[in-house]
Structure 1
Amino acid sequence: MKTETLRYRLLAAQLDMAKREHRAVVLVLSGHVASYMQPMLNLLNHWLENRRTEVHALEPSHEEAKRPALWRYWRRIPARGTTGIFVHGWYADALFARAERRIGAGAFDDRLAMIRDFEAELAAENVALVKIWLDIDRQTQGKRLAAMLEDPARAWQLDSGDWQRHLQHPLIEALGTPLRETTEAEWAPWHCIRGDDPDDLVHQVAERLLETATRPPVDPAAPRAGGRLAPAARQAPSVREFPPEDPAAERPDKADYHRRLVAQQARLSRNSREAASRGIPVVLVFEGHDAAGKGGSIHRVTSALEARRYRVHSIAAPSDEERLHPWAWRFWRRLPADGRFALFDRSWYGRVLVERVEGFATPAQWRRAYGEIRHFEQRLLEHGTVLGKFFLSISKDEQLKRFEARANTPRKQHKLTEEDWRNRARWEDYEEAIDEMFAQTHRPHAPWSLIACDDKRQARLEVIEGINALLERRLDSDT
């Protein structure tokens, strides 16, 4: 294809994508130094509509080091209708860390597996991936570097890292092969190319961008390999088999409740300050039946925390901006820095609860979400996050009493909506979804705590005691 024709068709495809907002495109450029990556990228920028394109050449920042490794990429994933270009991207963390022997072979393999999961999730959400490996032999690389060094107009572009990569050429070449083989997929193929000049390279890259930008989008209803259910977790809780509270059981009276609550909050305050001093991030998830008391429990927890060290995220329907990104994007960007707390009043589990039951997600989407949730939580744990997951459960009779009380109390009427009554009408559907959620996501390293909440006082004490137990287990393991 002639260059001018290719350039016009690529721009037209990008503008059509912006109009339809049916997909995003991510271009990842990796490979060797002196392969004309930078001049080719400058040319490509002239071809594309800059207002719909962002280029990311990332160096780890202090802020990013305080969060899971993929956080800095997730927060930059382009919205549908736009293009993101990543120089080395998430591959740099694995490739160069292994080349410099900062990680071993096992860690290298683990990072590639993480990348494969990450890219599968993006592709399923209509983020089309174009992965380019820029190749060059070592002799040609050395000649180009020497020529740049002798040219005053280009010598400033070189630094010691370029010469280090030249010395590492055989190692990077050797590592590049398993890197590409492991992360090669139907939804994320590698294109290994080389060119004698930037014009040749930009033509080759543009052809692959055009092919990707014009292929049919992913059908969200189409089943995918990642949508197969995992074996049910052993000893997973069940709301349908949860024994009802014994009405004859002794419940804390008001005085006893306040005494125990103050003691648990003081304990939580000490534990949270120690976690902050050690730089331990904490993520707490609160799911549950409507009117089970999530808000009240969260309030008792945050009363024991320093205001500057926590954020409460109340998750509702996604915003217009969030709808243009993969569904997990809005949760990744809310993760806390090391030493901070993030409390989620509803969470990523909405995908397999309300979105499943109400039909906002297709069966293929919510089935796939179980694996994506497990991968997401694994990333949190690998970073050292303390993860607590609490499901607050009440009986159907108790829920009705609380709904009626809200309806008859002016200061609480805003808490009761038509959606609450609609959810109640589908009680059995929700209980089926809840139990399958437990079966798919209750794991030894990320278990669910099922809390009986017909007695609000006892439930709040159990939640705070559970959080303290999680923190102390972690603090003790670090000593």
Structure 2
Amino acid sequence: MRTETLRARLLEAQLDLARRRERAVILLLTGHAVTHKGRLVNELNHWLDNRHTEVHALGPSSEERERPYWWRFWRRLPDRGRIGIFIHGWYGDALFARAERRLPPGAFRDRLAEIRAFEAELAAEGVVVLKLWMDIDRPAQRRHLQALQEDPARAWQLSATDWQRHLQHAAIAALGREMRDATAADHAPWRRLDFRDPAAQLQRVGALLHETLAAPPVAPSGVPEGVPGEVAAAPSIRRAEPRVEASLKKASYAARLAEAQGRLAINAREVARRRIPVVLAFEGLDAAGKGGGIHRVTAALDARQYRIHRIAAPSDEELALPWAWRFWRRLPADGRIAIFDRSWYGRVLVERVEGLAPEAAWRRAYAEIREFERQLLAHGTVLGKLFLAISQEEQLRRFEARAASPHKRHKLTDEDWRNRKRWDDYRQAIDEMFARTQAPGAEWALIACDDKRRARLAVLQEVNRRLEMRLASPH
């Protein structure tokens, strides 16, 4: 195909992608040094309408180092209708760290498994990934390096790292084959490009991108569902016995509340000093008291240390990206606390029960949630998952009290009454959520909330317990 024809067709396909907004496309280039990656991207950008294109080629910033590894890639995902171009992307870190023996073989294989899971999740959410391995043999690489070095107009393009990559050529070639074999998939294929004249390379890259834009998306196959964790049995809201206890007296409650909040204030200061990130996810039945529990936690904290994220229906911006994006982007920096008033578990609760997500999507979400939380824990995050539960009788009493109170009436919605009619469906979904997302370090705490005072103390006790377990750890 003539260059002018290919360029016109590629632009037409990109504009059709932008108009339809049905999916996003990622083009990722990695491989050996001095293979025209930067030049290719620059030239390709001239072929495309760069209003719908984003290029990412930077190392991690200090802000990104303070969050889980994948945060920096999640936050840069292109919206539906756009093309994201990554130079090295999530492959470069693993490839070069392994070549330099900073990453052991087992950790390298673990990272490749994370990449497979990440790309499968993207594909399931309508993101198409095309991966290019830029190849060059060692003698040709050396000749190209020497030519660049001897040319005063281009010598600035070289760095000591380029020569280092030349010395590592054999290792990078072998690791590249292992990496491509481990991560190739129909929904995220690899294409190998030999080093050649830049114009011929650009023609080949343009043709591959056009082919990708024109082809129907490929859904990932064999995406696993979450399975119960290898820990003690998960809690069960359906098997839990109702707790009949005398209401806690106001004076006793006030004293115990002050003690629990004092402990929390000390723990939170130590968490900040040791740069430990904390994520607290509050889920619960309607009217169980999530807001009251969160308020008692934040009353003990420095307002500069925490943020509350109240999760409702996704915005238009969030709907244009994979569903987990809105939770990744809200993760706290090291030493900070993120409190989620409802969380990523909405995917397997309200979206499941109310039919807001297809069955395949919410079933797939169990494994995606477990991987998300595993990455939080791998970064050193303290993860607290609290589910606030009340009896059906107490919920009705609180609904009626809200309806009768002018200053509380806004808390009661038609959705609350509709959810109540599906009480048994929600209880089944909750128990399956517990069983499929219980894991070491990410255990659920089931808080009985018929008595508000005892429930608020139990919330503080659980948060303190989680923080103190981590602060007692030598790591």
Q: TM-score range by the shorter chain?
A: over 0.9
Moved more, 124-133 or 159-168: 159-168
Which of 422, 427, 434 is 1:431 aligned to? 427
Other-structure match for 2:106: 106
- Does the aligned pair in 2 maintain the 1:227–1:364 contact within 8 Å? no
Other-structure match for 1:409: 405
CA displacement 1:370-405 (0-9 Å, x = unmatched): 000000000000000000000000011111111111
CA distance in 2, matches of 1:307, 1:35: 50
3-state secondary structure, aligned to 2:366:
helix
Which of 451, 459, 463 is 2:455 aligned to? 459
For structure 1, list consecutive stretches of 5 or more residues without a partner in the other structure.
none
- Does the aligned pair in 2 maintain the 1:125–1:218 contact within 8 Å? no
- Does the aligned pair in 1 maintain the 2:229–2:436 contact within 8 Å? yes
3-state secondary structure, aligned to 1:77:
coil
3-state secondary structure, aligned to 2:140:
helix
- The letter of the residue matching 1:193 is L
Q: Shift in Å at residue 309 of structure 1?
A: 0.6
Other-structure match for 1:277: 273
CA distance in 2, matches of 1:218, 1:401: 50
Other-structure match for 1:75: 75
Q: Does 1:240 align with 2:228?
A: no
- Does the aligned pair in 1 maintain the 2:7–2:47 contact within 8 Å? yes
3-state secondary structure, aligned to 1:308:
coil
Q: Shift in Å at residue 366 of structure 1?
A: 0.2
Q: Shift in Å at residue 245 of structure 1?
A: 1.6
CA distance in 1, matches of 2:337, 2:79: 28
CA displacement 1:87-139 (0-9 Å, x = unmatched): 00011111111112212111111111111111110011010000000000011
Q: Does 1:386 align with 2:382?
A: yes
Other-structure match for 2:190: 190
CA displacement 1:59-113 (0-9 Å, x = unmatched): 1211111000000000000000000000000111111111122121111111111
Other-structure match for 2:35: 35
Moved more, 109-118 or 336-345: 109-118
- Does the aligned pair in 2 maintain the 1:133–1:191 contact within 8 Å? yes
Moved over 4 A (4+): 231-234
- Does the aligned pair in 2 maintain the 1:312–1:343 contact within 8 Å? yes
3-state secondary structure, aligned to 2:67:
coil
> 5 Å matches for 1:140-219?
140-217=140-217
Other-structure match for 1:337: 333
3-state secondary structure, aligned to 1:410:
coil
CA distance in 2, matches of 1:354, 1:205: 43
CA distance in 1, matches of 2:200, 2:264: 62
Q: Shift in Å at residue 229 of structure 1?
A: 5.0
- The letter of the residue matching 2:322 is P
- Does the aligned pair in 2 maintain the 1:22–1:217 contact within 8 Å? no
After superposition, the Cα gap between the structure-2 partners of 1:420 and 1:430, relative to the gap in structure 1 and judged at 3 Å, is same
Q: Shift in Å at residue 357 of structure 1?
A: 0.8
CA distance in 2, matches of 1:229, 1:111: 19
3-state secondary structure, aligned to 2:275:
coil
CA distance in 2, matches of 1:151, 1:218: 45
Other-structure match for 1:15: 15
Moved more, 389-398 or 103-112: 103-112
Other-structure match for 1:352: 348
Which of 366, 372, 375 is 2:368 aligned to? 372
Q: Shift in Å at residue 202 of structure 1?
A: 1.3
- Does the aligned pair in 1 maintain the 2:3–2:203 contact within 8 Å? yes
Q: Shift in Å at residue 224 of structure 1?
A: 4.5
After superposition, the Cα gap between the structure-2 partners of 1:166 and 1:299, relative to the gap in structure 1 and judged at 3 Å, is same
CA distance in 1, matches of 2:122, 2:445: 30
- Does the aligned pair in 1 maintain the 2:226–2:365 contact within 8 Å? no
Q: Shift in Å at residue 193 of structure 1?
A: 1.0
Q: Shift in Å at residue 41 of structure 1?
A: 1.3
- The letter of the residue matching 2:118 is F
CA distance in 1, matches of 2:161, 2:25: 29
Other-structure match for 2:264: 268
Other-structure match for 1:133: 133
Moved more, 342-351 or 149-158: 149-158
- Does the aligned pair in 1 maintain the 2:229–2:439 contact within 8 Å? no
TM-score with structure 2 length normalisation? 0.98
- Does the aligned pair in 2 maintain the 1:227–1:369 contact within 8 Å? no
- Does the aligned pair in 2 maintain the 1:227–1:365 contact within 8 Å? no
CA distance in 1, matches of 2:226, 2:341: 26
Which of 222, 226, 247 is 1:225 aligned to? 222
- The letter of the residue matching 1:79 is D
Other-structure match for 1:312: 308
Q: Shift in Å at residue 230 of structure 1?
A: 2.4
CA distance in 2, matches of 1:304, 1:52: 46
Q: Does 1:469 align with 2:440?
A: no
Q: Shift in Å at residue 198 of structure 1?
A: 1.3
RMSD: 1.3
Q: Does 1:395 align with 2:391?
A: yes
Q: Shift in Å at residue 251 of structure 1?
A: 3.4
After superposition, the Cα gap between the structure-2 partners of 1:228 and 1:337, relative to the gap in structure 1 and judged at 3 Å, is closer
